[in-house]
Amino acid sequence: MATTPAVEQGSGLARYTFRLRVSSTARAGLEAEWARCRWVWNECVAMSRKVHAANRDAAEKATCGPGRLDKLLTEARQSMSWLRAGASVPQQQTIRDFATSRSKAVKDIKAKLPVRRRAGMPRIKRKRDARPTLNYTRRGFRLKDGRLHLAGGIALTVVWSRELPSVPSSVRVYRDSLGHWYASFVVAIETDPLPATGRVLGVDWGVKETATTTSDAHDLPHPGHGKSAARRLGRYQRMMARRRPAKGKAASKGYRTARRQAAKLHKKVARQRQDTARKWAKAVVR
């Protein structure tokens, strides 16, 4: 299943996301790669905090940029066979992602934005909380015979629901809250601007209708996706209530099954609402 491509404005780039069929061997490889990348991220967080603490009383301020972190990663890979067994591309991209996140937080602090509007400083990623996300540049993956081959010998089957418009420059492999794996490719696209018409349409997010516009022909009534799923959702929630474990006790298999079914139903309704909203927005603009 592919999601609607989200176009990056003014850049001619878009993301095409596809579902992955992951074998047990590939899943073990992805989880091992994620364990290494998570370790790299946590080491970056620890180094950043250490440098920040040292700079409080130091006359000459130290830095914690990608260059220094790359050097530390090289030294760590030389001394740790476990880290060296993984591909270097996703580990290097983890450092890039950390640097981007930290620079955004520092920028917001220097701009003296309110706390509620600031981007938070990067935090430790815990195994039980963080979801696997691996980023690969062009030298870290290839497409062959319809399959996605990642650095480190991991082969994944892609559910192609559409053709890629161009050769992808990077790919993000991640797992959602339901345990499904996806591959999100960044590709270059040709954008054709629509001709200007000079017409204006006012939109207000309403209560009785999802969107109320100044034109009766373009109103968006409530599709009722949540209402149609309410009966099944209530059933799963009652099953969870009956099987809810006591405090400090492990959840039973029945409770975990009901929780997963409820989560799948929530995800389905969210996708239905997103699909309806995007189709409506595209029709209105055109």
**pTM score:** 0.82
Residue 57 DSSP class: T
Q: What pLDDT digit, counting tens, does each position of 257-286 carry?
A: 999 999 999 999 999 999 999 999 988 888
**What residues form DSSP beta bridges with 185?**
16, 171
Residue 167 DSSP class: -
Confidence of residue 4 (pLDDT cuts 50, 70, 90): very low
Residue 194 DSSP class: P
Q: What is the pLDDT at residue 223?
A: 87
Neighbours of 93 (CB within 10 A): 20
Residue 115 DSSP class: G
Q: What pLDDT digit, counting tens, does each position of 80-118 carry?
A: 999 999 999 999 999 999 999 999 988 888 888 888 888
- Domain residue extents for the chain: 1-193, 203-285
Q: What is the pLDDT at residue 193?
A: 83
Confidence of residue 28 (pLDDT cuts 50, 70, 90): very high
Q: Which residue has the higher pLDDT, 215 or 25?
A: 25
pLDDT at 56 over 60: yes
Which residue, among 22, 18, 13, has the nearest Cα to 2 in the 3D structure? Answer: 18
Question: What phi, psi does 45 have (nearest 5°)?
Answer: -65, -45
**What residues form DSSP beta bridges with 142?**
149
CA 242 to chain centre: 33
Confidence of residue 60 (pLDDT cuts 50, 70, 90): low
β-bridge pairing 203-204 and 181-188:
unpaired
Confidence of residue 9 (pLDDT cuts 50, 70, 90): very low
Compute the average pLDDT of residues 12-38. 95
